[in-house]
Amino acid sequence: MGLVSIGEFARLSRLSPKALRLYDELGLLPPTRVDPDSGYRFYEPGQLAQARLVLSLRQIGVPLARIKPILGLEPSDAADRVAEFWAEIESDHADRKELASRLVDRLNGKRQTMYQVKTRAIPERSLLCLKRHVDGYSGVWALGKEYIALVKERPLPAIDGRAGAAFLIYHGEVNDDSDGPVEWCRPIPTDQAAELAAGFPELSLRSEPAHEEAFVPLGAVEVSATQWPLISDTLFAWAGEQHRQPSDLGVRITYLAEPPRTADSRPDLDFAVPLG
């Protein structure tokens, strides 16, 4: 069988012409030939295996951005990637189940204590920040990578302790309906702030007032994005019980990277809510 039209290939693959055009634009399933005059797409029957793989991956919920790397792998390696993805899904489901359970208990007037809450004083400090509206948690991490690349390229003076650690502020929720904004920040010495900021035109310099924070210490662990609402919920519930009002400075995650730093090092994490 020779080349087939996009309509026929759609019938054979069970992918709609709309999906095939999208996968072509993303480089997942480009046609073998595109007519230079009409723009019609033509496919080889041999592409059906890849088309069905894309379809199967989408059926189990693999995001489009994660499909392309899988398509270039040997079958055994691709199988490992799919297994890793599904393990993430199961972990995410468990976290959402816990969040739903806490919500049910809260609506029923019950209280659950999952995390230890402490308080600390944060001094007034100068910050170099990168703030942006983002699409989903992938956008949060993309902004973080951009920020980290900037400060690695031009190292900044270190300030000891939590007050000097880099942190991420959620000024608003990040989900399918809300785009934040979020802000990555790095404290810098106030007496050098203007000079240091001049070397980072991509970042904004601002001051943050002294304040008290309620925080949940987590240690050097990996926390999934689905767990974040559970921790934030704990902090806000604690603030309510203590008759303390959270400020408008935003929920934040602090990343304290203690030396010696290696390729396997993980930052010490905590979630915090500034108090008014």
* pLDDT tens track for 90-121: 877 877 787 677 677 767 767 655 688 999 99
Residue type, 26: L
Q: What is the mean pLDDT of residues 42-47?
A: 93
The SS3 of residue 155 is coil
Same domain, yes or no, for 135 and 188?
Answer: yes
Higher pLDDT pick, 153 / 265: 153
Same domain, yes or no, for 92 and 66?
Answer: no
Q: What is the mean pLDDT of residues 208-234?
A: 84
Same domain, yes or no, for 127 and 162?
Answer: yes
DSSP letter at 37 equals T
Q: Mean pLDDT over all residues of the chain?
A: 88
Same domain, yes or no, for 139 and 226?
Answer: yes
The SS3 of residue 58 is helix
DSSP-assigned beta bridge partners for residue 270 = 217, 254
Higher pLDDT pick, 145 / 222: 145
Same domain, yes or no, for 103 and 122?
Answer: no
Least Cα distance to 65 among 145, 142, 144 occurs for: 142
| pLDDT at residue 210 is higher than 70 | yes
Could you read off the pLDDT of 169-203 as tens digits, one per residue?
998 888 777 888 999 999 999 999 999 999 999 99
Q: What is the mean pLDDT of residues 193-216?
A: 95
Identify whether the C-beta of residue 236 lies closer than 8 Å to the C-beta of residue 154. Answer: no
| Domain membership of residue 202 as a residue range | 118-275
Residue-level pLDDT at 107: 74
Same domain, yes or no, for 59 and 92?
Answer: no
Residue 230's pLDDT band (cuts 50, 70, 90):
confident
Same domain, yes or no, for 127 and 86?
Answer: no
Which residues contact residue 176 at a Cβ distance below 8 angstroms, ignoring those fewer than 6 apart? Answer: 136
Same domain, yes or no, for 173 and 261?
Answer: yes
Same domain, yes or no, for 98 and 189?
Answer: no
The CATH number for 36's domain is 1.10.1660.10
Domain boundary among 112, 140, 175: 112
Domain boundary among 84, 112, 140: 112
CA–CA separation, 82 vs 79, rounded Å? Answer: 5
Same domain, yes or no, for 164 and 269?
Answer: yes
**How many independent structural domains does the chain possess?**
3
Same domain, yes or no, for 128 and 263?
Answer: yes
Burial class (CB in 10 A: 0-12, 13-18, 19+), 85: middle
Same domain, yes or no, for 132 and 210?
Answer: yes
CA–CA separation, 181 vs 69, rounded Å? Answer: 29
In the chain, the N- to C-terminal Cα span, in Å, equals 72
Q: Which range in 12-21, 30-39, 67-76, 187-196 is most confidently predicted, on average pLDDT? A: 187-196
